């Protein structure tokens, strides 16, 4: 029995026993900063406690000294694919067992009484579910001083007379386990940045503002150099814009001009208290200007979440991380879901075949797997969407599937292709559980056997690789037969995994020229799709614009006739 198991076994908890705390720390390569964070936790005047360190796909191995360290608390390491900090936090919260969950960053250092003060606050305010720590001014390095000056000024201005705060920063934040279990996943993985703001919007909508625990103090020690810290604010402004829009729609807690001026006044006052304060303040102004520049850039060219309509078919505007998260969330919640892709050839078939359009309309998720779809969304709706290919997300998703001990069923391709694909998948991802592997050329009798096999083995995800529309038709038939699982259509992916077709380099996929690679590699197989499909898509887009123009002119004509009649 390991240390974590012992902690769990002892966690019965009577009314007089201390509240148990779990600390979740995502980390990616910042092992030195993590050591300082863990040492500050080891010096806490509070016990019992567990710490869950989530390795979010680090490229550097964990130091041996950290592996061999025997801290005075239960320490658990969890490795996940690099799906972003929000996904890492969700993974850590999923395995934590404390009554109170503390979220922090690897570059934070806790005051000695921080957790004890938190526990006292949770007992004194049983109606509150969220608790925000106080960030104190650090005057050792310029970047540290800038960061703590900005956060401290916001906290000072945004606290309320009731003891709550209109601010949330998961570098020092706690939430009750009961709320996490009722709102899983807690963080929105589609937010590259701004998941804190999205969570604040969720809490505000439920009238559950975080309680501000001023006596629970945390220091934030950013590891970036000054130039990188300043440029990071451009990314912050750009990527937090969707989360800010959600907060603006649900509350009035965003910093208005007056509130921003108040924060700057507080920062100016606090800057006189430290040696680097004045310089930090003016650099903070520069960082704010860069953040505004990032927001302006997002308004001009940013990608909005949600769906967009292309030829009467809804296409999801998401990235590979959000797609993986939605698939995995459906499996863990035991929900049936059908997921497929759209390419330029799919859009052409939608225009030519109404039954295919209706077929796609029954799917839960349709994502853009082709530059033609991205271009169509831009030309028809002035909407930027992201191109997502199975080559990009399939293996990271399978690693997460293996980590969660979920089972796969692979259906598609020729017998030798699916056999080779299964073998290679098992070689590349140790621990992957492939419960079923069948070729895609099925007779009616074989399909009935497949239905029985899926009903008996109950795989969590069924991967269908047979090309459109055969794979979509099979997915819906299996779902209608009662299979409560996730069906993911991947087209010719098994050919790539088996090595039958060479995988195009990542740079070609990112530039949108994967179609050219396929055409050059197997022209006999893809010439119709690209030589005919791409010009046909252009004609359909032009026709759609002409239809809209005709409708606009007709509506203007009716309006003028109505005005003259009046």
Spatial separation of the C-alpha atoms in residues 495 and 503, rounded to whole Å: 9
At which of 224, 247, 277 does a domain end? 224
Q: Given this model, what pLDDT does residue 243 score?
A: 75
Tens of pLDDT, residue by residue over 341-399, are: 999 999 999 999 999 999 999 999 999 998 899 999 999 988 888 889 888 889 989 98
Contacting residues for 135 by C-beta, under 8 A, at least 6 apart: 148, 151, 152, 155, 169, 171, 172, 217, 218, 219, 220
Same domain, 73 and 193: yes
Select from 362, 305, 319, 323 the least CA-distant residue to 461.
323
* Same domain (yes/no): 318, 220: no
Tell me the backbone φ, ψ of residue 165, rounded to 5 degrees.
-145, 140
Asked which of 224, 239, 274 is the last residue of a domain, the reply is 224
Say how far apart CA 338 and CA 361 lie, in whole Å.
11
For residue 466, give the CATH number of its domain: 3.40.50.10700
Residues 186 and 329 in one domain: no
Q: Which residue has the higher pLDDT, 376 or 184?
A: 376
Annotate 179-204 with three-state secondary structure. Answer: HHHHCCCCCCCCCCCCHHHHHHHHHH
Look up the domain containing 350 and give its range. Answer: 314-520
CATH number of residue 138's parent domain: 3.90.550.10
- Count CA atoms closer than 13 A to 389's CA, side-chain side: 21
- Please check whether residue 55 lies inside any domain of the structure: yes
Compute the distance between CA of residue 418 and CA of residue 480 in angstroms, rounded to an integer: 25
Does one domain contain both 206 and 323? Answer: no
Residue 551 lies in a domain: no
Q: Token pair of 329, please?
A: 């969330």
340 domain residue, yes or no: yes
Residue ranges in 257-276 assigned as alpha helix (H): 257-271
3, part of any domain: no
How far apart, in whole angstroms, are the C-alpha atoms of residue 551 and residue 324?
Answer: 40
The confidence score (pLDDT) of residue 445 equals 81
Retrieve residue 197's tokens: 């703001």
Note whether 349 and 211 are same-domain residues: no
Together in a domain, 127 and 29: yes
Q: 219 lies in a domain? A: yes
Q: Check whether 181 has a pLDDT greater than 80.
A: yes
Q: Are 401 and 461 in contact (CB under 8 A)?
A: yes
Instruction: Render pLDDT for 472-516 as a digit per residue (tens, 0 to 9).
Output: 999 999 998 877 899 999 988 998 898 887 777 777 777 777 778
Confidence of residue 83 (pLDDT cuts 50, 70, 90): confident
Pair type for strands 100-104 and 306-310:
unpaired
Of 158, 189, 224, the position where a domain reaches its end is 224
Distance in angstroms (rounded) separating the CA atoms of residues 81 and 540: 40
Does 231 reside within a domain?
Answer: no
Q: Has residue 566 got a pLDDT over 60?
A: no
Same domain, 356 and 207: no
User: What's the first-to-final CA gap in the chain, in angstroms?
Assistant: 86
Query: pLDDT tens-digit profile of 232-255?
Result: 999 888 888 877 777 676 666 666
73: in domain: yes
Q: For residue 115, give the nearest of 104, 105, 127, 125 by alpha carbon.
A: 104
Shared domain check, 196 and 323: no
Domain presence at residue 359: yes
* Total number of domains constituting the chain: 2
């Amino acid at each position: 029995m390991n240390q974590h198991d012992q902690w769990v076994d002892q966690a019965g908890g009577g009314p007089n026993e201390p509240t148990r705390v779990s600390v979740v720390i995502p980390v990616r390569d910042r092992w030195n900063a993590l050591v300082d964070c863990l040492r500050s936790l080891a010096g806490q005047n509070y016990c019992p406690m567990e710490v869950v360190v989530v390795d979010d796909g680090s490229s550097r191995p964990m130091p041996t000294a950290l592996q061999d360290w025997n801290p005075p608390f239960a320490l658990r390491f969890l490795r996940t694919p690099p799906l972003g900090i929000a996904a890492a936090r969700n993974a850590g919260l999923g395995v934590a067992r404390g009554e109170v969950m503390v979220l922090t960053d690897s570059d934070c250092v806790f005051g000695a009484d921080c957790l004890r003060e938190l526990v006292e606050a949770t007992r004194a305010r049983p109606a509150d579910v969220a608790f925000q720590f106080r960030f104190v001014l650090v005057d050792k390095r310029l970047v540290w001083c800038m960061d703590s000056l900005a956060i401290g000024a916001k906290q000072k201005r945004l606290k309320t007379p009731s003891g709550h705060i209109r601010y949330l920063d998961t570098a020092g934040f706690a939430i009750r386990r009961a709320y996490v279990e009722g709102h899983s996943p807690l963080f929105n993985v589609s937010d590259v940045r701004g998941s804190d703001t999205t969570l604040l919007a969720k809490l505000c909508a439920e009238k559950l503002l975080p309680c501000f625990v001023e006596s629970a103090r945390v220091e934030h020690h950013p590891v970036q150099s000054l130039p990188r810290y300043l440029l990071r604010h451009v990314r912050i402004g750009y990527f937090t814009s969707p989360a800010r829009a959600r907060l603006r729609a649900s509350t009035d807690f965003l910093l208005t001009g007056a509130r921003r001026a108040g924060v700057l006044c507080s920062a100016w006052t606090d800057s006189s208290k430290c040696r680097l304060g004045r310089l930090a303040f003016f650099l903070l102004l520069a960082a704010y200007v860069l953040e505004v520049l990032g927001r302006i850039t997002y308004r001009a060219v940013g990608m909005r979440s949600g769906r967009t309509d292309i030829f009467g078919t809804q296409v999801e505007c998401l990235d590979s991380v959000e797609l993986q998260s939605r698939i995995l969330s459906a499996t863990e919640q035991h929900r049936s879901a059908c997921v497929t892709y759209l390419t330029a050839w799919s859009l052409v078939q939608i225009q030519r075949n109404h039954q295919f359009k209706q077929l796609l309309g029954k799917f839960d998720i349709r994502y853009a797997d082709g530059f033609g779809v991205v271009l169509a969304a831009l030309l028809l709706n002035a909407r930027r969407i992201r191109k997502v290919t199975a080559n990009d997300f399939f293996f990271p998703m399978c690693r997460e599937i293996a980590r969660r001990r979920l089972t796969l069923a692979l259906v598609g391709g020729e017998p030798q292709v699916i056999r080779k694909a299964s073998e290679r998948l098992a070689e590349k991802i140790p621990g992957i559980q492939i419960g079923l592997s069948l070729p895609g050329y099925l007779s009616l009798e074989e399909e009935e056997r497949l239905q029985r096999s899926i009903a008996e083995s109950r795989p969590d995800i069924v991967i269908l690789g047979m090309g459109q529309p055969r794979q979509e038709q099979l997915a819906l038939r299996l779902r209608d037969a009662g299979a409560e699982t996730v069906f993911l259509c991947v087209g010719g992916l098994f050919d790539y995994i088996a090595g039958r077709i060479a995988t195009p380099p990542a740079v070609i996929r990112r530039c949108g020229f994967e179609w050219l690679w396929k055409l050059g590699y197997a022209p006999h197989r893809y010439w119709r799709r690209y030589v005919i499909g791409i010009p046909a898509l252009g004609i359909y887009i032009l026709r759609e614009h002409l239809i809209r123009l005709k409708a606009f002119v007709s509506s203007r004509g009716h309006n003028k006739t109505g005005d003259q009649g009046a």
